[in-house]
Structure 1
Amino acid sequence: MPHRHLHLRGAAQAPLCAAFAALRVGLDVPDAFGGDVLAEAERAAASPRLPPYDATGVELFTIDPPASTDLDQAMCLERRPGGGFRVYYAIADVAAFVAPGGALDAEAHRRVITLYFPDRKTPLHPTVLSEGAASLLPGQDRPALLWRIDLDADGAATATDVRRALVRSRAKLDYEGVQREIDTGTAPESLALLRDIGTLREQRELARGGISLNVPEQEIVEHGDRYGLTYRAPLPADGWNAQISLLTGIEGARLMLAYGTGILRTLPSAPDGAVARLRRSARALGIEWPHHVPYAALIRSLDPRDPHHAAFLQECTSLLRGAGYTVFTGGTAPEPAVHAAVAAPYTHCTAPLRRLVDRYAGELCLAAVAGQEPPGWVMAALDELPKEMARGTGRANTVERESVDIVEAALLKDRVGEVFDATVIDVREERPTVGTVHVKDPAVVARVEGGGPLPLGERLRVRLAQADPGSAKVLFAPA
C-alpha cells in the first residue's frame, strides 16, 4: 500500500530527532548490530561467493534518490534486432554474502525489513554489505542475479531468464536527472528507452486493470533555522522505473507458478462498496468520473500536483489494503494468486538488500529456470516467511505513519488556535462530523471533528485544536 513517504532534507531540530528516537524505543526497533553479526558481515564482504558467469560487459546503471547507497537494482535497456526490446535487470545477490543459519542470517530474520525514519534508517543488513560490498555501486564488480527479459514491440514479455552473474554498474543516476535528460533529448539510448518501455508497460497495466498510484510525498525542508513540510509530486521517471521492477516481479511470479513452488505477494480485490464510495469522494472533490471510464484509467488522468487530485489519490489507497504473502508448493497454485493492484500474479524479488523475502524469491526463480530443487535453506524457511514479513511490514507501516504524525505535530505545536485553509478529503459515513482535512501550507493531512456535517470535497476554514509531538496527534476543528 502506498504511503505518504517522508524524507528529511538537511538537519532537523533536536526535538524532532528526539521524538524519532522515542518512537524507535516504543516500537522496539533494533539498534546497532551485535559483534558476531558485524564480524560475519566483514568476512563476507571480504570474500563473497562469486559466480563464474561474467556479465561485466553489460552497461548497467542505477536510478535512486541522490543520497541512496543501498542499491538493489541496476538496468540496461536495448532494442532487439527485428523489433522489440531487451531488459537486463541486475539484482544484488545477498545470498552470496549471507550464510544460511549464521548470525547474519538470524539477524536478518529478526529485522525483516529496512526501516526508514526521516532522520535515519535502520538497515536489514550491516552497512558494510548493504551500502558497500553487496550494493550495486558504480565502477564495482558485484555478484548479482541478472534477469534478461525480452519484450515484443508492444511491451509484452516473450522470454525470461535469470542467472547468477558478475556485473558492474556504470553510473548512479537520480530521478530528476533522468527526467531532465529524457525530456531534453540528451539521454543515451539505453536511458531514453526507459520512457519507451515504461510507457508501453503502463499501457499494458491499464489494459489488464492494474493500478499505480502517484501519491504525493511529504518532505521535511529547512527554512533558515526552522523546518517545514512540502509535497513532492512523483515524476514520470519514477513510474517508468517502477514498471521495470513490476515487470520483473510479474515474470518472477510466472516462473514460480510454472515451477509449482514459490511465494507470491497477493492483494484481495476491494470490498463491495469501496469503489462506489470513491465515486462519491470524486464527485465531492470536483473530479469528473464518467461511468464508462474504468477506475484504473481515471487514476492515470489525475495530476498529483493538483490538491484535489492529490487528496483523491490518497483516498484511493483505501482500495489497496490487505496485502500479504502466500506460499505454495507441490504444483498447486494458491488462491488468490493475483495481486489486485498489479492485476496479475506478482512476487517481491527486486529489493533483497532492504526486504528479507526477496532473497528467497530470487533463489526460487533461479531454481525454476534451472529446473532444479531449491536450496534446502530456502524450503526450510518458506512456511514462516509470510508471518515474518507481516510482522516486519506492519512495523514499517507504523514507522511511516507515526513519523508523519510526529513531524506534523512538531511543526504546528506553537500554532494552536490559528486558522488554516483546508479541503475536506474524507468524512466518516457513520459520524459525518468527523473526517480528514488536507492543508496545503504547511503540507499537513490530519483529523478534523466538531460542528455540523463536514462538506466532503469543499474548502473549509479550520482551527488548530491540538498539536502534541509527544502523542504525535494533530487535531483540527471547523473554524
Structure 2
Amino acid sequence: MKTLADPANSLTRNLAAIRTRFQVSEGFPPAVLAAAEAAARRAPTEHVDRTGRHFVTLDPASATDLDQAFAIEPSGADLLLHYAIADVAWFVADGDPLDLEAWRRGTTLYLPDGKASLYPPALSEAAASLLPDGPRPAVIFTVRVAPDGAVHLDGAERAIIRSAAKLAYDSVRDADLPAGFVELTARLQAAENRRGAARVDPPEQEVAARPGGGFELVFRPRLLSEERNAALSLAANMAIADALRAHQTGLFRVMAEPDAHAIGRLRQTAVAFGLRWPPAAPLAQFEATLDGSNPKQAAFMLAVRRAGQGASYQPFQQGVVPWHAAVAATYAHATAPLRRLADRYVIRATLAVTNGQPVPEGVTEAFAKLPEVMARADAIGGQIDRAVIDLAEAVMLQGREGEDFAAVVTDADDRGARIQLRDFPVVARLAMAGAEPGDAITVRLVAADPEHQRLTFERAS
C-alpha cells in the first residue's frame, strides 16, 4: 500500500489534507539540516577496506536512499552473502539533533506524492546511501546459507565498500547479478516453503485512467527480482535475530497468527472474489497458490495484509521465544536503517556481540523504549496508508453514484456490516441489521467523496 502510484496526479488535490491531518513533516528544522551537513563530512576511521569486493544494489529505479548492497561468494557447499547495510550510526550520535529528530519521527512515511524521510537528504540520499558514485561506510553482515537454506551469521564488520552498479527491479537481468544470486535465493525460498511461512506481499496498487473516463485501482504484480531481493533481507534479519537471541539481547519483530475471527472474514472475502479456498486448507497453504497478476487474487492478498493482527517490536525476554508468524521464524529488523529508527540500534548490538564486545548501555536502554516509539510511527504510517487507499477508492468510484454493485458480507456487528465488493478491491461498511457473514447482497453507491476519503453505500437488494 505504501507504494500506491498516482501517475496521472488524480489524488494530488486531496493529499495535502491527508498530510495536514497526520502532521506529516514537510522538511527538517535548520539545526537538524546543519547537523546532517556536518555529519556527512565525517570521514570513516573504524572501517576496513572492502572496496575490492563486488557489491551491487537492487532497488526501484527511482530510489536514492539505498540501505543495502550485496556480494556473494561460494564456501564449499555453502554460499556466503555479504550484506552491506548503510552505517547510519557512524553519522548519527546518541543525543545529537539528528538522533532526537529520528526518535520523533520513528520511520520514513510514504505517500504517492513523496515521502517524509527519517533523516535529511544529505545523509539518506547522499553520504550514508550506498550509491555507486564513490566509497561509502557500511556494516557488512556475512550470512552463511547452507544448501537447505538454513542461515547463520558468520560475522559483522564496519567496512568501506564501493557499489559497482545500481540495479533496478524492472530492468535487471540475471547476468547483471553476482554469481550465485539465483541459487542463493532459491535456497532461501525453499526453506521458507518448508517452514510454512505466510509472508504476504501484495502487488503495488496504482491509479489508472479508464478509457471512457474516470479512474480505477489496478495492481502491478511484484516482479521476480523484488521477491528475490526480499529474500536476502529476510535471511540477514533471521541470522541477526538468532545471533542476538543467543547473546540474550536484541529487539525483535513479532506477529501473532490471524485469529479465528479474521480467518472467517478472509474466507468470506475469498467467496466475494470467487476464489476457491478448500475448507481444510490453512491460510498459509492457500496463500501459496495465489497469483498477484490476477486482479481478484491480488485484492485478496491485500485483504490478508489488512486482516493481520499487526506486527510489533519486542525486546529480548528471558524464556520468551520472539516469533513472527508470517515469517515462521525469529526475526529482527536490521536492514533498513535509513528508513527505520530501530534498525540502527539492532545493527549496533549485532556489531558488538559478533566481535566479542558488550552491547553499549545506550543500545540496551533504547531496546526498552523503541517498541512504543515504533508502534506510534507504524500506527501513523498505517493510518496514512488507509487514508490514501480510501482516497483512491473514492476517486475510482466518483461519478458512479446511483450504480449497483455486487458485494458479500465479510463481517457483521452491532454497527452494521463490513462488505467486500465482488468486482473491485473495495471494503466498506454498511448500516444494515440482520446481516450474516457470507450473505451475497447488492449495494448502491450513494456518495463518493474524495475530499473526505469516504464511500457511502446503501443496500439495494
User: What are the superposed Cα offsets for residues 11-47 of structure 1, whole Å, 9 maximum, x if unpaired?
Assistant: 515xx33422221221122232111111110011122
Q: Which amino acid aligns with 1:5?
A: K
Q: How does 1:316-335 map to 2 (within 5 A)?
A: 316-317=304-305, 320-328=308-316, 332-333=318-319, 335=320
Instruction: State the match for 1:22 in structure 2.
Output: 17
User: C-alpha displacement at 1:112, in angstroms?
Assistant: 0.7
What SS class does the counterpart of residue 92 from structure 2 fall into?
Answer: coil
Instruction: State the match for 1:194 in structure 2.
Output: 181
Counterparts of 1:326 and 1:376, CA distance in 2: 18
Taking structure 1 as reference, are residues 276 and 285 closer, same or farther at Cα in structure 2, changes over 3 Å only?
same
Q: 1:108 aligns with which of 95, 102, 105?
A: 102
User: What are the superposed Cα offsets for residues 342-400 of structure 1, whole Å, 9 maximum, x if unpaired?
Assistant: 11111110000000000001001111101211223323322211111011111011111
Q: Which amino acid aligns with 1:7?
A: L
Matched, 1:12 2:6: no
The percent identity for this pair of structures is 37
Q: Which amino acid aligns with 2:111?
A: F
Q: Which amino acid aligns with 2:205?
A: Q
User: C-alpha displacement at 1:423, in angstroms?
Assistant: 5.6
Instruction: State the match for 2:395 in structure 1.
Output: 410
Taking structure 1 as reference, are residues 227 and 77 closer, same or farther at Cα in structure 2, changes over 3 Å only?
farther
Contact preservation (8 Å) 2:314, 2:371: yes
Counterparts of 2:422 and 2:3, CA distance in 1: 16
Matched, 1:259 2:242: no
Instruction: State the match for 1:338 in structure 2.
Output: 323
Instruction: State the match for 1:447 in structure 2.
Output: 428
Contact preservation (8 Å) 1:432, 1:453: no
Q: Which amino acid aligns with 1:367?
A: A
Contact preservation (8 Å) 1:6, 1:118: yes
Contact preservation (8 Å) 2:214, 2:398: no
Counterparts of 1:157 and 1:407, CA distance in 2: 41
Q: How does 1:279-318 map to 2 (within 5 A)?
A: 279=267, 281-282=269-270, 285-290=273-278, 293-317=281-305
Matched, 1:437 2:420: yes
Counterparts of 1:8 and 1:127, CA distance in 2: 22
Counterparts of 2:267 and 2:13, CA distance in 1: 42
Q: Which amino acid aligns with 2:199?
A: S
Counting matched residue pairs gives 458
User: What are the superposed Cα offsets for residues 176-222 of structure 1, whole Å, 9 maximum, x if unpaired?
Assistant: 223xx24xxxx24626x433322321221121221121323211346
User: C-alpha displacement at 1:418, in angstroms?
Assistant: 3.5
User: C-alpha displacement at 1:131, in angstroms?
Assistant: 0.7
Instruction: State the match for 1:213 in structure 2.
Output: 200
Matched, 1:55 2:50: yes
User: What are the superposed Cα offsets for residues 84-120 of structure 1, whole Å, 9 maximum, x if unpaired?
Assistant: 3111111101011112111111001011100001111
Counterparts of 1:111 and 1:448, CA distance in 2: 32
**Segment drifting more, 222-231 vs 335-344:** 222-231
TM-score in terms of structure 1 length: 0.87
Instruction: State the match for 1:160 in structure 2.
Output: 154
Instruction: State the match for 1:268 in structure 2.
Output: 256
Taking structure 1 as reference, are residues 167 and 325 closer, same or farther at Cα in structure 2, changes over 3 Å only?
same
Taking structure 1 as reference, are residues 278 and 437 closer, same or farther at Cα in structure 2, changes over 3 Å only?
closer
What SS class does the counterpart of residue 251 from structure 1 fall into?
Answer: helix
Counterparts of 2:127 and 2:228, CA distance in 1: 28
Matched, 1:372 2:360: no
Instruction: State the match for 1:356 in structure 2.
Output: 341
Contact preservation (8 Å) 2:119, 2:338: yes
Q: Which amino acid aligns with 1:241?
A: N
What SS class does the counterpart of residue 162 from structure 1 fall into?
Answer: strand
Contact preservation (8 Å) 1:40, 1:103: yes
Instruction: State the match for 1:39 in structure 2.
Output: 34
Matched, 1:469 2:456: no
Counterparts of 1:206 and 1:114, CA distance in 2: 31
Counterparts of 1:317 and 1:326, CA distance in 2: 21
What SS class does the counterpart of residue 77 from structure 2 fall into?
Answer: coil
Counterparts of 2:250 and 2:65, CA distance in 1: 26
Q: How does 1:99-138 map to 2 (within 5 A)?
A: 99-138=93-132
What SS class does the counterpart of residue 28 from structure 2 fall into?
Answer: coil
Counterparts of 1:289 and 1:407, CA distance in 2: 28
What SS class does the counterpart of residue 314 from structure 1 fall into?
Answer: helix
Q: 1:66 aligns with which of 61, 67, 72?
A: 61
Q: Which amino acid aligns with 2:358?
A: E
Taking structure 1 as reference, are residues 247 and 319 closer, same or farther at Cα in structure 2, changes over 3 Å only?
farther
Taking structure 1 as reference, are residues 273 and 438 closer, same or farther at Cα in structure 2, changes over 3 Å only?
closer
Residue ranges of structure 1 left out of the alignment (5+ in a row) = none
What SS class does the counterpart of residue 177 from structure 1 fall into?
Answer: coil
Taking structure 1 as reference, are residues 48 and 9 closer, same or farther at Cα in structure 2, changes over 3 Å only?
farther
What SS class does the counterpart of residue 451 from structure 2 fall into?
Answer: coil
Instruction: State the match for 1:76 in structure 2.
Output: 71
Counterparts of 1:68 and 1:363, CA distance in 2: 25
Instruction: State the match for 1:143 in structure 2.
Output: 137
Aligned alpha-carbon RMSD (Å): 2.8
Instruction: State the match for 1:388 in structure 2.
Output: 373
What SS class does the counterpart of residue 153 from structure 1 fall into?
Answer: coil
Counterparts of 1:48 and 1:23, CA distance in 2: 40
What SS class does the counterpart of residue 27 from structure 2 fall into?
Answer: coil
Contact preservation (8 Å) 2:272, 2:420: no
